[in-house]
Structure 1
Amino acid sequence: MGSIEAARKEANGSLTEKKPCVVFVLGGPGSGKGTQCANIVQHFGYTHLSAGDLLRAEIKSGSENGTMIQNMIKEGKIVPSEVTIKLLQKAMLESGNDKFLIDGFPRNEENRAAFEAVTKIEPAFVLFFNCPEEEMERRLLNRNQGREDDNIETIRKRFKVFLESSLPVIEYYNAKGKVREIDAAKSIEDVFEDVKVIFTPKEEQVATA
């Protein structure tokens, strides 16, 4: 066990020395998070880390850890926060960057508390893509082009889970003045204009105003 603990300390040591800038990206399914994260990466040099993608990649790798994750998902269990956080830490260290968009995490209060406890990193802010349910539903149905009857049920369940688990995280950071809310119902271009204002340093905004 000692070596795992030592490795964790070492990973934390090198991460905290870097003092990385972490932005949590939250929004319901269909709120356009992925599209906007790609834009932020291109324009502002962030590294985009999706918790879901990292878990899927770990499963694909066939590692012992991946098999455990796969079994948990199959059994309908939630993957422990620590597992996801370790994957995020590893990806952050390997990227060589010090600016990160963490997408789809923390999904709930327990994730949030574990992330701060394990990494000793507090996010610079939370980028919250707020989109009305009807709009997200419309986008997802257009994207899926499948049988609407079975899709709509699944989509509504996903909204419900998002609201119940993620809103407490948004409220927690809102109380600390760390939430930057975006009206995600607008067009992709208009949403990105709002995003740019948030990511552009104040002094540059003044210079270009």
Structure 2
Amino acid sequence: MRLILMGAPGSGKGTQAEKLMNEYDCHQISTGVLLRQSIESGSDLGNKVQKIMSEGLLVSDDIVLDLIKNQLSEIGDDGFLLDGYPRNISQAKSLKDLLETINKPLDYTILINVPSEILIKRLSGRRTCSLTGKTLNIYFSSQSELDECLSNGGELLQREDDNEDSIIKRIEVYEEQTEPMIDFYRSAELLLTVDGQGPVDEVYLGLKKLMEL
């Protein structure tokens, strides 16, 4: 199975990606991981990537696409799930051309849809217990879970970038970049949209049902 999984920050995309990979035995292709691996390899391309990143610059789409092409070649006929790519319509079109060239067209592009107000609560309410490292949420975790951390002397710590202003900006950027891609994949009849508001297993079941239609 060849998939792209799209979802805003806080949509649960990472969790669903892990479940899909475990069940369908497909390779996760993460651009962040590919960039790190290329640097560690010491190859000419890796040295080029390291130089660009050390200067605080963005790695070009052409280089990222080359890394993806190399990875797809390595995994052969196995399935894959693209994580973190494409991020905009230009990358989506370039990826389409690449996959057509190597005869590995996508099966689905899955969009995990969650209303903005829920995303904001999921992210702004996210806390980590300083004692256990467990991730909790002041809006969605039970009071007993929150009290267990606090009563044992722990603190509920919030990530610096989980403030509401930062979250709203991240969601706005995501929506601005993703809307054209949604239209692109819908017109290609590849888009499946799943409601991501429910519990993890419920969302996953809905996702699987869509793929089986």
TM-score class, shorter-chain normalisation, is 0.7 to 0.9
What residue is the counterpart of 2:112 in the other structure? 129
Task: Give distance in 1, aligned partners of 2:165 and 2:202.
Answer: 30
Q: Distance in 1 between matches of 2:163 and 2:117?
A: 14
Residue identity (%): 29
Question: Which letter maps to 1:136?
Answer: L
Q: Note the C-alpha offset of 1:159.
A: 0.9
TM-score after normalising by structure 1 = 0.74
Equivalent residue number for residue 87 of structure 1: 67
- Counterpart for residue 117 of structure 1: 97
Tell which structure's C-alpha radius of gyration is larger: 2
Q: TM-score, normalised by structure 2?
A: 0.73
- How many residues are treated as equivalent by the alignment? 178
Cα deviation digits, residues 111-137 of structure 1 (max 9, x gap): 011112234254222100111112222
Which of 1 and 2 has higher RCO (CA within 8 Å, sep 6+)?
1
> What corresponds to 2:28 in structure 1?
48
Q: Secondary structure at the match of 1:29?
A: coil
Matched residue of 1:102: which SS?
A: strand
Output the CA distance in 2 between the equivalents of 1:89 and 1:58.
13
- Is 2:118 the partner of 1:140? no
Distance 1:102 1:197, change over 3 A: same
Higher relative helix content: 1
Say whether residues 1:29 and 2:41 are aligned partners.
Answer: no
Contact 1:26–1:127 (Cα < 8 Å) also in 2: yes
Is 1:103 aligned to residue 83 of structure 2? yes
Separation in structure 1 between the aligned mates of residue 200 and residue 109 of structure 2, nearest angstrom = 19
Which amino acid is the alignment partner of residue 172 of structure 2?
A: K
1:180 Cα deviation from its structure 2 partner: 0.3
How does 1:53-202 map onto structure 2 within 5 Å? Answer: 53-59=33-39, 63-71=46-54, 74-75=56-57, 77=58, 79-120=59-100, 121-141=104-124, 142=126, 145-146=157-158, 151-200=163-212
Residues 2-33 of structure 1: CA deviation (Å, up to 9, x unaligned)? xxxxxxxxxxxxxxxxxxx5211111111111
After alignment, is 85-94 or 171-180 more displaced?
A: 85-94
CA contact (8 A) 1:31 1:130 kept: yes
Would the alpha carbon gap of residues 184 and 143 (structure 1) be closer, same or farther in structure 2, given more than 3 Å must change? farther
Query: Counterpart of 1:7?
Result: none
Gaps of 5+ in 2: 129-156
The SS at the match of 1:30 is coil
Matched residue SS, 1:26? strand
Deviations 1:44-88, CA, capped at 9 Å, x for gaps: 12212122332344345563133144146x24x4x3222111222
- Contact 2:7/2:13 (8 A) holds in 1: yes
Partners of 2:30 and 2:82 within 8 A in 1: yes
